[in-house]
Structure formats: structure tokens, C-alpha cells
Homo-oligomer: A and B are copies of this chain.
């Protein structure tokens, strides 16, 4: 069957209602497009859990802050369409911003606890944009399961909290980080990197691997691990640390000892490009 492409909220919602009435399980992979193998791994997960796989492609204006890369965020719909067709996606939902947000749009979904650390601290309002658009996408595509990537670890936790607290009838599946052969976490924003910065960007994964080795060797205290991580990154003078954080993987509260699984998360700016990566320790 041919892949459908829908741009209308109303048509998409009617179609999703029809699929549900027919008893078919819907899986959603929300994306901002410019797809890479990371996204396609999420599509494969959705396929394993659902009969109808929908990929949404929407560069969501309200999760970008003033001065961020909304206008320049990479877009290539024809390439995305081709990748989705090959991946066996059933439907692409790609509304334009006017279709998603009325001129007098005034309702937002806000997570008020987990959103305030990490990317939420340096990008205030970002997660309000994420939770609002994901709530909308859930209501429009009515998924039984929705798949998100662990690379955006905080986003995953915030969305899981939203689903719990608003009782949204969807199962959230988190797919593992997919990496380039040399270890760089796949991201649409990697495209911004010059060849030299592309090599420098490897310090993120190198730093996390150092943390993993220390913990595997028996280290349970965070401070020496954090210092080692920062030391690896500071070997690259062009790499500016936004944050290096170790948090309880569930509550995102800062920890000083590894007792339960700990999320080690990095955000680093290299040549103007903000890169994130993370791993789970312990």
C-alpha cells in the first residue's frame, strides 16, 4: 500500500479515528524531520508495536526560543518522504505551523518539575513547547504507542510524566541512542558541524565512555566521575560545556552517589552548535 501524506489536522484526526474504529493499533513517531537512522530505529520500534505507523514531521515553532535555530533548522521533505517510504511508514503527518496554531492560540501543557533542570534551565519555555505540541499530536493521531529517542533523555522523562499526570491513554516507548560508526550520537543538528568540529564533537561520547569505565571499575561517587568527564571535554578547547549533570534516572534529581540508575547527561557547544548526549550509569 502507498504511504499517505496528510497535512490537515482534521483529516488526520478523522483518519486516526477510522483506524481505531477498525481496531488497528496506531504507533506514532514524532519528529522535526531531516530524518536519520536514529529516527528510523524509532520507526522500526513503532512497527514492532503497532499496525499503523505514523511519522509526524513538524518543526514546532513554540519549542524554539528567540535567537535559536528555528528558521535555519534543516528541512528536506523529499528526502524524509523517501526514507519513510523505504522504512515502511504508513503515513506522514506534516502540518504547517498555521494549521497547528491558531493566531489566538492560548492553551499550553506545562510540566513544572522535571522541566526546570538541564535543557529546561538553559532553554526556559522549551519544554512547554514540547509538551504542548506532543499533547496536540497525541490528540490528532490517537496513538496506542508513541516512540521517542533516549538521546533526548530529559524530553522522554518529561513526556512520560505528562502521560502519567494527564492520564493520556498511550504507551511511551524509548528507543536507544543510535550513533555514527565513530560514536557521535545521531542528530539532525550534526549537519551544522564543519569537518573539524565534527571530529571535535567526538569528545561527548569519549567523555561518557570514560564515565562508564570508571563506574564499571567500581567508582560509586559522582564527583571523581564528573571531574573525569569534564577533563575529557576540556581537552577540546573549542568545546564549551553547557552542562555535565548526573541525576537519578527517574526523578532527574541531582545525585552524589550511584545507588539507583543514574543519567549522565552532557550539553556542549562546538562552533555555535549545541550537541547533547547521555548514558545511564549503574
Task: Assess the A110–B112 pair: CB atoms within 8 A.
Answer: no
Taking each of A17, A131, A139, which has the highest tally of chain B beta carbons within 10 Å of its own beta carbon? A139
Q: Which of A116-143 contact B (CB under 8 A)?
A: 131-132, 135-136, 139-140, 142
At the interface, is chain A mostly helix, strand, loop or mixed? mixed
Chain B residues whose C-beta falls within 8 Å of the C-beta of A166 in the assembled complex: 107, 109, 132, 135-136, 139
| Binary contact track A9-52/B, C-beta < 8 Å → 1, others 0 | 10001000100110100000000000000000000000000000
- 1/0 per residue A127-167: CB within 8 Å of B? 00001100110011010000000000000000001101111
Query: What's the tally of chain A residues with a CB closer than 8 Å to chain B?
Result: 35
One complex includes copies of this chain to the number of: 2
Task: Choose, from A98-106, A208-216, A221-229, the stretch at the interface.
Answer: A98-106
Q: Does A108 contact B (CB under 8 A)?
A: yes
Q: Are B167 and A139 in touch, CB under 8 angstroms?
A: yes
Judge whether B140 and A106 touch: CB under 8 Å.
no
Q: Which residue of B lies closest to A141 (CB)?
A: B167
Specify which of B106, B139, B165 is in contact with A102 (CB 8 Å cutoff): B165
A161 contacts which of B106, B110, B113, B135 (Cβ < 8 Å)?
B106
Question: Do A17 and B110 have beta carbons less than 8 Å apart?
Answer: no
Q: Would you call A167 and B21 a contact (CB within 8 A)?
A: no
Q: How far apart are A11's CB and chain B's nearest CB, in angstroms?
A: 12
List residues of chain A with CB under 8 Å of any chain B CB. Answer: 9, 13, 17, 20-21, 23, 101-102, 104-114, 131-132, 135-136, 139-140, 142, 161-162, 164-169, 251
